[in-house]
Structure 1
Amino acid sequence: MLNIIWICFFLAAFFTALFKLIFLGDQQVFAQIMEAMFSLSKSAFEISLGLTGVLALWLGIMRIGEKSGFILLLTQSLTPLFSRLMPDVPKGHPALGAIVMNISANALGLDNAATPLGIKAMKELQTLNPNPDTATNAQILFLVINTSGVTLFPITIFTYRAQLGAENPTDVFIPILIATYISTLVGLLAVAFVQKINLLDKVVMAYLGSFTLVVGGLLVYFSSLPQQQMLQQSAIISNIILFSLIISFIFGALYKGINAYDAFIEGAKEGFQTAILIIPYLVAMLVAIGVFRASGALEMLADLARTLVHYFGIDDRFVDALPTALMKPFSGSGARAMMIDTMKTHGADSFSGRLASVVQGSTETTFYVLAIYFGSVGIKRIRHAAACGIIADFAGIIAAIFVTYWFFG
């Protein structure tokens, strides 16, 4: 899928530029495309190098969280919920532990740990599958929860915002939390409707009620504040929560007698390696998006969207962040590159820059996750997995737009 998207960017740029040259007499369009290719390849390299320090910092901190048993604690606290949402999975089955570990890793922003844990969970669920080429209810629910986000600490987004000059990189934390909660809740409701899961079970209601109370409390609190004060309070609360998390990790390490410094260094080394590894991927996607933009194709699509938006009398500031939203279900790296391109073009603290960040954090990459997880166990009949995943994606994008207007509009 990513290969097709990448090729389409170049082909669309070529034919758009050809049209502008032949019919509009634009003799500079191909020169602009070539300039974009060289300048954005340089920018991608500089961004990747600039990420090194911040990635090393956060991955070092998250490694302390892993060593201190934070994920294990989260696993134990969520197991009763998933044992009821997936009644076909026997109590105590290894799949439940792997599922909660994967979701916990996603929630904490541990992407490198989340994918192998997700594959392990899918393989454990496959051992219970009577029809190996057809997805079971439990496998579909697990996949939809993955694709709908469940991002509590979107560290990667904070990192890019810091690198691209955001005054307060974490000011999108509360909006992302609200948007990802709505995406996950809608995805769960969609699957529960199809699979006839009893969401009125006392344990399920207790968990969902607790999550809803927390998010609802945030909504009520922030809706009572003037916008400027809401922004200030959001930033303060976000920073307090994130730093309190770091302190909790350190206290956990002290309690368990773990050398927090050594754990940090171990994770920081991984952060450095990650920053180097993403250079070719970032170069590939930013250059493809750059030629797409330089050819005028992206502007044409944006103008078409604005025309439709104006027709209905709607504010059009969200249009500049739509490329991230449209790319998100298909490619995580593509959407990330779109987010970076939006922040570089309009500014990290612009409305569209913040909206692109919130969209990026609100959902996961549906088709990528579907291909990786189902492909790892040879499932060909995915049943209602894609439909429910897309419903969750759509809900997350709509929520992201509304919550960004609320906080930053």
Structure 2
Amino acid sequence: MKRFVEGDDRKQVALLPECVDDYIGQDNPVRVIDAFVDELDLAELGFDGTTRAMTGRPSYHPGVMLKIYIYGYLNRIPSSRRLERECQRNVELMWLTGRLAPDFKTIADFRRNSGAAIRNVCRRFVELCRGLVDWLLKMRRLPEGLMLDRALARGAVRESDIARIVRRLSTFYRALPGAKMSASAYHAHFLSEIARNESVLTRIMTRQSFDIRRLCGIQLAMLTGVLNRLELRVAHGWIRECHGDLRPEHVCLTRPIGIIDCLEFSERLRTIDTLDEVGFLALECERLGAPKIGAVLLDAYAESMHDPVDEGLLHFYQSIRATVRGRPAAAHLLERKIGRVRHWRRRTLAYFELGASHARQCAAALQAGTQALTLDVSPME
């Protein structure tokens, strides 16, 4: 079989990912199904069983059943018996349901008893799609040459452009109420992100695993150092439903400023500190070779929002963000047919170095204040 494409030996021991999430790409449609259903008020739409009964055998939550139904609809699997089998063997459905596998009768009963509620969900989905179409039409009209990342590459961004961006963002932020999030939940969010960074990245970037674990350990120490500051940000209402993924390629220097690709589908991902969001945009400017533009952006934000930048907290946010952004960059290295391995490897290492650099700056800022934190963060190779 020398002249044929050969597969792997099925008895060969392989280091498989430790969690199902690693099998599901970031652009997989099941992530949209999951985010869409999680944002719905199922009781308002007419689903029964949204409140857990105090007695009797536990039932499947209608959200789980609705995800199975939508998955079957989108993948042309109308049969309840086929959906039962797919729940037992299909990795996408295992991810979507948390490895739950209702039997075919349960699936059929849900479909029969929830007809009106499912039609309400379809109406809600159509409304969402209409909004996306409007957004796509607006996006198509944005000139590529005026996107912020292109302007940064040409060195054509002026301070007046940054002032216009900040005015646009400030108007948006001021209209947002503080999110209903506890300080403990905000702290748990960062613990989860750091743990996930370490788990995913050490499996992909095996040669840098020591440096990754060290950086994640340092970020845990940083989290302890800024804990009181995080609590104050929550208490003062700076955690809001923001854009969620504000990068230079999402900002257009038109008049007025255009901002696209807000994470409309996930309230959880949008709910962040306004300083975190602007700090992320500044971080991306730094990665693109324009750190001075990022500094001007942060100064303008502080003045416009009357929110003096806490250097220790800012660099903590930026260190975490850089490491999180390293995850999807590293994930490209797992693709078998990829012609830009070196590009994605450089991108991943660039994010790691940014994460380490801002960790060092966070340590310096905390040491200059009341917190003492000694960190040994050397560059990665």
TM-score band w.r.t. shorter chain: under 0.3
Q: 1 or 2, which has the higher helix percentage? A: 1
TM-score normalised per structure 2: 0.24
Larger Rg computed on CA atoms? 2
